[in-house]
């Protein structure tokens, strides 16, 4: 590799390049081979090995609150307004606020709640596949991977499904805003204004829904969060709004990507499609291997709350740590044949749901939705085959497809 392609900044710019979105894994491999990337001028440290990322996710000084970043503190000291688009959802909080919010929201994702949703998920998948069968073709994202999790999260929150077209654009814009454009390039994202406007619009939409739920409570998470606030548990309206925003965006993106990525991997490896069609019990291994092999969340960020030592890397307090989970999940130091899609590998390990206090709250629901969707689509269409190549969205952090056409 030339110096230009092994320079830390060049490697990060290659990751941001949308032309690499269909297959970012050679770039991840180059970064992993380079070792941790340190850009002191940008107070940024990028980690890509399984060992380093695993250690940071569990490290007591690994913070999620961006206000602990020295770069943000400098901006605030020079008069910049603190106007985050998604914060203060618990995704970007640390204990004790994170603990309090997560405990309240976790009730909606408890195992018995998720289990109770399974018949409705199955019925919805059946109806979606009926339409595909009648058409003779399945557009994986638009016909299955997208409508399923969106319908489920809308039901959980109490959001009218007919309003989905209203907030789908805002959710897509906010998902793109999670890309580390400023951290990697030092340049303000071109779509920053659009992101801010989308955040403000979604905030207004959710705020209006909360007002409606105050007048007419339902059996849903939004009503439950309002009840908690009014019972004196100090859950503010801003916290309710930010939490619901986060769950709506997550419901639009992460499980969508998981289902679509798994279908793509199985279609590219037809023996696994046939195996799931013949034995639905194999679907769990397919899901876990997809989470390792082609994760829906490719990277996460943390802040060093104190000086940290990760391997040989010294990370000063306040510096940004970016963890390339997609690179870590294919680390040859942790996995045999890491670039092979092999649901039969034992054990299947991955970091795609995180570790520690920020372990993905929706993991049980995502697994159930994916299991039902994958087992049913393979059984219903055992001879499915791809028509053309998948088309990928420009997103880096929440990498996923815009379309994947399948003949059924």
pLDDT tens for the 408 residues of the chain, in order: 443 457 899 999 999 999 999 999 999 999 999 999 999 989 999 999 999 999 999 999 999 998 899 888 877 776 655 444 444 577 888 888 888 888 888 888 888 889 999 999 999 999 999 999 999 999 999 999 999 999 999 999 999 999 998 888 899 999 999 999 988 998 888 888 999 999 899 999 999 999 999 999 999 989 988 887 666 666 788 888 888 988 888 878 999 999 999 999 999 999 999 999 999 999 999 999 999 999 999 999 999 999 999 999 999 999 999 999 999 999 999 999 999 999 999 999 999 999 988 999 999 999 999 999 999 999 999 999 999 999 999 999 999 999 999 999
H or E element that contains 224: helix 221-230
pLDDT computed for residue 230 by the predictor = 61
* HSE, side-chain direction, 13 A CA sphere, residue 397: 18
Rounded to two decimals, the pTM is 0.94
Q: How many structural domains are present in the chain?
A: 1
For residue 374, how far is the Cα from the chain centroid? 19
pLDDT computed for residue 4 by the predictor = 45
pLDDT computed for residue 96 by the predictor = 85
On whether the CB atoms of residues 245 and 203 are closer than 8 A, the answer is yes
On whether the CB atoms of residues 376 and 127 are closer than 8 A, the answer is no
151's tokens: 């319908």
CATH number, domain containing residue 224: 1.10.630.10
| Segments forming the whole domain that contains residue 269 | 3-407
DSSP string, 107-156: GGG-HHHHHHHHHHHHHHHHHHHHHHHHHTEEEIIIIIITHHHHHHHHHH
Q: What angle do CA 373, 374, 379 make, to 5 degrees?
A: 105
Give one word for 304, left, alpha or beta, with left for phi > 0 and alpha for psi -120 to 50: beta
pLDDT computed for residue 101 by the predictor = 86
Distance separating the N- and C-terminal Cα atoms of the chain:
43
Biggest alpha carbon distance in the chain? 64
């Amino acid at each position: 590799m030339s110096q230009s392609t092994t320079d830390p900044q060049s490697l990060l710019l290659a990751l941001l390049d949308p032309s690499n979105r269909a297959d970012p894994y050679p770039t991840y491999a180059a970064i992993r081979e380079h070792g941790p990337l340190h850009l002191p001028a940008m107070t940024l440290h990028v980690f890509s090995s399984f060992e380093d990322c695993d250690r940071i996710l569990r490290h007591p000084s690994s913070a999620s609150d961006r206000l602990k970043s020295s770069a943000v503190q400098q901006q605030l000291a020079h008069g910049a307004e603190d106007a985050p688009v998604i914060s203060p959802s618990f995704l970007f909080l640390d204990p004790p606020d994170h603990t309090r919010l997560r405990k309240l929201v976790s009730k909606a994702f408890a195992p018995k709640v998720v289990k109770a949703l399974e018949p409705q998920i199955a019925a919805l998948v059946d109806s979606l596949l009926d339409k595909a069968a009648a058409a003779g073709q399945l557009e994986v994202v638009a016909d299955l991977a997208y409508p399923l999790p969106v319908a489920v999260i809308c039901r959980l929150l109490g959001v009218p499904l007919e309003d989905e077209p209203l907030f789908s654009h805002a959710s897509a814009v906010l998902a793109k805003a999670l890309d580390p454009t400023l951290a990697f390039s030092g340049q303000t994202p071109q779509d920053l204004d659009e992101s801010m406007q989308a955040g403000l619009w979604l905030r207004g939409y959710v705020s209006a829904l909360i007002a409606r739920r105050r007048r007419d409570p339902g059996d849903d998470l939004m009503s439950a969060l309002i009840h908690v606030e009014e019972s004196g548990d100090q859950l503010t309206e801003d916290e309710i709004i930010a939490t619901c925003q986060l769950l709506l965006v997550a419901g639009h993106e992460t499980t969508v990507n998981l289902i679509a990525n798994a279908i793509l991997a199985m279609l590219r490896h037809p023996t696994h499609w046939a195996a799931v069609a013949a034995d639905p019990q194999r679907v769990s291994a397919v899901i876990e291997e997809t989470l390792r092999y082609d994760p829906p969340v490719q990277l996460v960020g943390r802040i060093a709350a104190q000086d940290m030592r990760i391997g040989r890397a010294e990370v000063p307090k306040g510096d940004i740590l970016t963890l390339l989970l997609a690179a870590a999940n294919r680390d040859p130091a942790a996995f045999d044949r890491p670039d092979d899609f092999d649901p039969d590998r034992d054990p299947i390990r991955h970091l795609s749901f995180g570790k520690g206090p920020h372990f993905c709250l929706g993991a049980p629901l995502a697994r159930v939705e994916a299991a039902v969707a994958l087992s049913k689509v393979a059984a219903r269409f055992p001879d499915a085959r791809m028509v053309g190549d998948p088309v990928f969205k420009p997103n880096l952090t929440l990498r996923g497809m815009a379309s994947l056409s399948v003949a059924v």
